[in-house]
């Protein structure tokens, strides 16, 4: 399953609140990283994979790598769309891709990616559980039709 497979994508709308901005009313750079997480969490939920479910099975997906390219600024009270895609699934890691747009998807503001290792409760890297691989494979097949 390795490679650029673009399994599934999802969208989340985010309203920029004042606390997400700097003194100039422009979104603070770290706010985008939180929105990546919101997009990833909702996409996984759509696939039937929740953080609580993973943890109750003693599996975790800690962040191991982050890339973020800021193209245009967002400002206080803007409505944004966070588009999240599963880019790659390897034996023990998953890569998610993100694009953040203005509310009409006319302007791409930010693009990025995160890589998450699959670990057990002691923090050792382990294979992604079969049930998760099966879920991702199912959506790959559906998206490929």
- The dihedral over CA atoms of 115, 73, 11, 128, expressed in degrees to the nearest 10, equals 10
Cβ contact 97:85 at 8 Å? yes
Residue 22 falls in the annotated catalytic set: yes
- Cβ contacts of 101 within 8 Å, gap of 6 or more: 80, 81, 83, 107, 108, 109
DSSP class of residue 26?
Answer: B
Selecting among 22, 78, 102, 141, the annotated active-site residue is 22
Q: What gap in Å lies between CA 139 and CA 70, rounded to an integer?
A: 30
φ/ψ of residue 62, rounded to 5: -70, 150
Residues forming beta bridges with residue 26, ordered by sequence position:
75
Report, as residue numbers or ranges, the catalytic residues. Answer: 22
């Amino acid at each position: 399953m390795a490679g650029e497979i673009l399994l599934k994508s999802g969208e989340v709308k985010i309203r920029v609140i004042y606390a997400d901005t700097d003194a100039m009313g422009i979104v603070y750079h770290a706010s985008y990283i939180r929105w990546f997480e919101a997009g990833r969490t909702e996409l996984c939920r759509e696939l039937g994979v929740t953080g609580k479910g993973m943890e109750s099975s003693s599996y975790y997906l800690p962040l191991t790598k982050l890339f973020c390219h800021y193209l245009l600024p967002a400002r206080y009270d803007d409505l944004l769309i966070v588009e999240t895609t599963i880019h790659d699934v390897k034996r023990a890691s998953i890569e998610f891709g993100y694009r953040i747009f203005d509310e009409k998807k006319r302007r791409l503001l930010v693009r990025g990616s995160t890589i998450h290792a699959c670990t057990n409760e002691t923090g050792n890297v382990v294979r992604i559980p079969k049930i998760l691989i099966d879920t991702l494979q199912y959506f790959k097949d559906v998206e490929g039709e």
